[in-house]
Structure 1
Amino acid sequence: MSESYAFVPDLHTETLQLRIPRPAPESLPAEQAAEDVPAPRKGGRDRYLDLLRALALGRVVLYHNFGWAWLPLVFPSMGVMFALAGSLMARSLSRPALSVIRGRLRRLLPPMWLFGAILITAMVLDGWGPNSDGHPAVWWGELAFWVLPVSTPPFGDNLHGFHGIVEPTWAEQIAVPLWYLRAYLWYVLLSPLMLKALRRQPWITVFTPLALSILINSGLFDQEGRIWETVTDFTTFGSCWILGMAHQEGLLRKLPQYLAPSVAPLIMVAGLWWLLSRPVDDPTVPSDLDSVPIAQAVWSFGYVLLLLHLSPSWERWPRPLERWNGLISLLNARAVSVYLWHNTALVLAIPIIDRLWDVDFMFQHGQWLLRSHWFPLMIAIPLIALFVLCFGWMEDLAAKRSLRLFPWPRRQLGKRRAALAA
């Protein structure tokens, strides 16, 4: 299981906008935008949650570039993102469940459809098609998962690489984030039932996915096929999602103040012990949390419990964080686009670097840079910005907002000074 992540909020702050004609009312929406940000307790945006979402997204990009095994331990992005989404879902379910689910799908699917249309076209041009795997009927049938991702959408796992320009596995690398959309979809569909169970049997409901994850990954089951793939991801992060719901329902605030800070570190130690005690094929390679579902589930649960216990609910940024308002707001407004397209940028960075070896100046003076693991990231960041500029508007279209090419918030100095004076 690999990573990827995160989801978007709508900006209530005044933004500097490049406007495009407003879409027709029937236009489709994108996931993780306005409603994907749990409302602060006092009414405006909760900047603490914005910060967590931005950190999770940035950590995912770093992990997919460097592959550092310690990054998921420092900040388990997936568990955090599912907890934030679960909290929002619980709040939204004060409305009729079917309308909430329809709204979530409306926000999730259009950005994925745009991404899929471009990726499928590129894969077909690189040799992917009905006869690629020898089962044309299966190929055509599985394309339906690009319409509704109840299972992982198909992709070409060994293509021509556009005559060697990119690696033959380029499509597989780009498709890594799709598991998150599949898991998110199932959480959304089952949230009404999970919320009812949470209200009747809170702690049994919270710990049930964790217990199922331990059972399923105990070695008693042969986990082959699409169904087991979905069940594994669902149980790995299900307790984080329900913990977010419990936070929104106020159940965590009913606990004694000392309980979460006392218990959560013990839970995390258990997850770390399980990770380090697993047999490994190569002792020189550090154990990776993402490859051990039980460790991932337990560590993420303890980490999320601590974050939700802290939960300061900032309506305004603390002064040291004010300078990051623009970047954090932009990442929240375009989280789906960054999440979907960041691996594409990382894949494209490699052939760009390969061509730079042919530049005499770079060959003579810049080999240290061309060999650096940081250089692909340096190239990928502007490529991510370009993809967000080209395709990020789909998130606005999906949410039925005015389209914005670059939703950077405008500084509101007058309001800030008035607040300080008050």
Structure 2
Amino acid sequence: MTTPEPSPGVAAPVTPAPGSPRGPVRDRYFDLLRALALFRVVLYHLTGWAWLPLVFPSMGVMFALAGNLMARSLKRPPTQVIRGRIRRLLPPLWVLGVVGVTGMVLQGWGPDSEGYPGWWWFHLLYWIFPFSDPPYAEGLPGIHGFVGENWAADFAGPLWYIRAYLWYVLLSPFLLKALRAMPVVTVFMPIALALAFEQGWIVLPGERFPSALTDFSTFGACWILGMAHHEGILKRLPRYIVPSVAPAIACVGLWYALNHDFGNGNDLDSMPLAQALWSFGTVLLLLHISPSWSEWPNRLRRFARPITLLNSRAVTIYLWHNICILITVTQWDRLWEFDIMWQHFSWLLESPWPVFALTWVLIGVCVVAFGWAEDLAAKRRPQLWPDGRESGGRRAGSRPSGTSG
């Protein structure tokens, strides 16, 4: 019988590796961090509030948790682990591609489109195996009253994460060996690379390859921190080291951002070095303080089912949330056409919170419609709403059945 496996980035209970400071009791805390990260990502992409990545650096957290999970998995042969991770990563992307590419082609995107003459068919291969960002059509007219203009750009926006995740997976066996041999050098190598890019000491031609290296330099240290946490390297440090060093590194990143016109339209996403430093410092602290939760604390037990759902469908939610936001905003803006609304309820129309709530409703639709791809990719029985209720008598909030590592 084939053992079902967790989706990319979804933690699962495992036997502690030798040298690991803690065992599966850490999973509840990691599930909470991942759920908060997804929640913050959706809010940020809706509002664009520059301070949100400072409150919680979602991408750094997600990469760190994925790095931790990858280090756990590498107890098995690396080729087997990489093949399994790629198998679980790509089907949700393919489902997105079938919908998105079909829509773009129907609106006139094709081999003769500007920007991809002659290379169009080759570039489509990135929708199958995203070594680089999958292409998309620019300047599409949208569908009046349903989805806004240039929807393909929003549709393809989250795909950089899939590309970056793929590269991290491929590099992980080498990173783990380097981490065990030279932990300090390996952890700080991506930040040194980010500094070299920022200062212009390294300049690479083209766009596709440099973008992959920029992502590695920005979030690679967080991925490696997750691996270091699993290996017990952070645990072996004196307890005062992390609380002393992590805030200082994060503050350097904040100082750099504030001195480079930080604000809406110019936030951490447009400052790779500041993002790298702030995410590194924050993630280091979060990993340092990780509590031992074998079960949900009483104050969090009421949120166990939604947290379980967010973890079970993390890839689906991340891939589809941008287009859900665009559709919701487009529909919400139509309310301005009614006189009674703009005359008496303009405060409601201008508020982001109703749109945020409706966006999550639409995300829920996408979970039901497309989330099965994550189950099939992980060789699990497909579920429409995997929030832990069908767990064979377990209390809500426990792992969906079949998610063994």
Letter in 1 for 2:130: P
Q: How does 1:364-375 map to 2 (within 5 A)?
A: 365-375=344-354
SS in 2 for 1:253: coil
Q: How does 1:245-394 map to 2 (within 5 A)?
A: 245-278=227-260, 280=261, 285=264, 287-359=266-338, 362=341, 365-394=344-373
Deviation per residue, 1:31-50 (Å, 9 max, x gap): 33465999793446720000
Q: How does 1:143-158 map to 2 (within 5 A)?
A: 143-158=124-139
Residue 69 of structure 2 is aligned to residue 88 of structure 1: yes
Letter in 2 for 1:376: V
Which residue does 1:8 correspond to in 2? none
Q: 1:382 to 1:309 in 2, by over 3 A?
A: same
Deviation per residue, 1:354-405 (Å, 9 max, x gap): 3333456545543332232223212211111111111111111111111111
Which residue does 1:12 correspond to in 2? none
Question: Contact 1:86/1:243 (CA < 8 Å) preserved in 2?
Answer: yes
Residue 204 of structure 2 is aligned to residue 230 of structure 1: no
Residue 38 of structure 2 is aligned to residue 57 of structure 1: yes
Residue 9 of structure 2 is aligned to residue 32 of structure 1: yes
Q: 1:318 to 1:119 in 2, by over 3 A?
A: same
Q: 1:134 to 1:326 in 2, by over 3 A?
A: closer
Q: 1:32 to 1:265 in 2, by over 3 A?
A: closer
Question: Contact 2:145/2:331 (CA < 8 Å) preserved in 1?
Answer: no
Moved more, 259-268 or 134-143: 134-143
Which residue does 1:419 correspond to in 2? none
Distance 1:360 1:185 in 2: 50
Q: 1:391 to 1:45 in 2, by over 3 A?
A: farther
**Shift of residue 26, structure 1, vs aligned partner:** 12
2:82 pairs with one of 92, 101, 106: 101
Question: Contact 1:264/1:303 (CA < 8 Å) preserved in 2?
Answer: yes
Deviation per residue, 1:250-275 (Å, 9 max, x gap): 01111000110011111111111111
Distance 1:250 1:344 in 2: 40
1:168 pairs with one of 143, 149, 174: 149
Q: 1:47 to 1:135 in 2, by over 3 A?
A: closer
Question: Contact 1:27/1:397 (CA < 8 Å) preserved in 2?
Answer: no
Question: Contact 1:33/1:399 (CA < 8 Å) preserved in 2?
Answer: no
SS in 2 for 1:400: coil
Q: 1:191 to 1:170 in 2, by over 3 A?
A: same
Which residue does 2:403 correspond to in 1? none
Q: 1:178 to 1:338 in 2, by over 3 A?
A: same
Normalization by structure 2: what TM-score? Answer: 0.89
Question: Contact 1:208/1:239 (CA < 8 Å) preserved in 2?
Answer: yes
Distance 1:29 1:285 in 2: 36
Question: Contact 1:155/1:171 (CA < 8 Å) preserved in 2?
Answer: yes
Which residue does 1:21 correspond to in 2? none
Runs (5+) with no aligned partner, structure 1: 1-23, 417-422
SS in 1 for 2:118: helix
**Shift of residue 150, structure 1, vs aligned partner:** 0.7
Question: Contact 1:333/1:407 (CA < 8 Å) preserved in 2?
Answer: yes
SS in 2 for 1:161: coil
Question: Contact 1:30/1:109 (CA < 8 Å) preserved in 2?
Answer: no
Moved more, 355-364 or 387-396: 355-364
Corresponding pairs, count: 389
Deviation per residue, 1:95-122 (Å, 9 max, x gap): 0000000000011000010011101011
**Shift of residue 192, structure 1, vs aligned partner:** 0.4
Distance 1:37 1:56 in 2: 23
Residue 89 of structure 2 is aligned to residue 112 of structure 1: no
Distance 1:130 1:28 in 2: 38
Which residue does 1:10 correspond to in 2? none
Distance 1:158 1:287 in 2: 23
Distance 2:109 2:217 in 1: 33
User: Which segments of structure 1 move beyond 6 Å, counting only runs of 4 or more?
Assistant: 24-29, 36-40
Q: 1:36 to 1:127 in 2, by over 3 A?
A: farther
Letter in 2 for 1:272: L
Distance 1:200 1:284 in 2: 40
Q: 1:124 to 1:300 in 2, by over 3 A?
A: same
Distance 2:14 2:36 in 1: 14
Aligned sequence identity (%): 56
**Shift of residue 195, structure 1, vs aligned partner:** 0.5
SS in 1 for 2:276: helix
Letter in 2 for 1:271: G
Distance 2:6 2:320 in 1: 18
Question: Contact 1:151/1:182 (CA < 8 Å) preserved in 2?
Answer: yes
Q: 1:174 to 1:197 in 2, by over 3 A?
A: same
Question: Contact 2:218/2:272 (CA < 8 Å) preserved in 1?
Answer: yes
Q: 1:101 to 1:125 in 2, by over 3 A?
A: same
Question: Contact 2:88/2:377 (CA < 8 Å) preserved in 1?
Answer: yes
**Shift of residue 30, structure 1, vs aligned partner:** 4.9
Residue 106 of structure 2 is aligned to residue 125 of structure 1: yes
Normalization by structure 1: what TM-score? Answer: 0.86
